[in-house]
Chain A
Amino acid sequence: DAGVTQSPTHLIKTRGQQVTLRCSPKSGHDTVSWYQQALGQGPQFIFQYYEEEERQRGNFPDRFSGHQFPNYSSELNVNALLLGDSALYLCASSSYSGFLPGGYTFGSGTRLTVV
């Protein structure tokens, strides 16, 4: 049973560049949420996608954008990278049809370093 797959696992970018992170949800899940986890902090909600639309958004600037594809996979794009964007980016998949306890499955994350 394939869980959530994220790529790449690690990435180093320069300030001002753009980056795209990818996520394939768990089989049977149709909703993808993205989280940013800075060092020493808990994950912070970026946004959630369902039916190829952004359904919820956290307190992140427009530099952060996303997309969901018909196969439910998703991308997170960050433009004009800042040093403060360095973090672990986590993707979590779930089923929109009803929230169940423990219904979120997290990927192992992409560690982004901005230099």
Chain B
Amino acid sequence: RKEVEQDPGPFNVPEGATVAFNCTYSNSASQSFFWYRQDCRKEPKLLMSVYSSGNEDGRFTAQLNRASQYISLLIRDSKLSDSATYLCVVNRAYGGATNKLIFGTGTLLAVQP
């Protein structure tokens, strides 16, 4: 079982649609949570951090449920420019200040005109 699991996708949605991505993580020692966006053949870029209280950035809303070890991302009013792969990422700390990012497989979103 993968440590971070996501919806396999792809998600094909029309412009203006609302789309939700879900993610679960298996290691309760995970400390920080993120959504990254990756455009085709490019590097991943941080979209937003995810907090238990829920957080919003414009059309994007992220939510964390530590009890269920579940992370979500909601995109409202989808734009063509939102087409990308969305990666669910957790950060796990080790001894000292050492930590590493653990990525899910990613979910491909294609917004259609």
Contact = CB atoms under 8 A, between A and B. Distances in A.
Interface stretch (B13-21, B63-71, B74-82, B94-102): B94-102
Interface string B30-49: 00101000000111111001
A50 interface: yes
Contacts of B22: none
A43 B103 contact: yes
A26 to B, nearest CB: 13
A50 B103 CA distance: 21
Interface stretch (A13-21, A68-76, A78-86, A104-112): A104-112
A55 B45 CA distance: 24
Contacts of B45: 106
Contacts of A107: 43
Nearest to B6: A42
A72 to B, nearest CB: 15
A101 B97 contact: no
B43 A109 contact: yes
A55 B49 CA distance: 25
Contacts of A106: 43-45
Interface in A34-56: 35, 40-45, 48, 50, 55-56
Nearest to B89: A42
Interface of A: 33, 35, 40-45, 48, 50, 55-56, 58, 88, 90, 92, 96-99, 101-102, 104, 106-109, 111
21 contacts: A41-B105, A41-B106, A42-B4, A42-B104, A42-B105, A43-B101, A45-B100, A45-B101, A48-B98, A56-B94, A56-B98, A90-B44, A96-B97, A97-B97, A99-B91, A99-B93, A99-B99, A101-B34, A102-B46, A106-B43, A108-B43
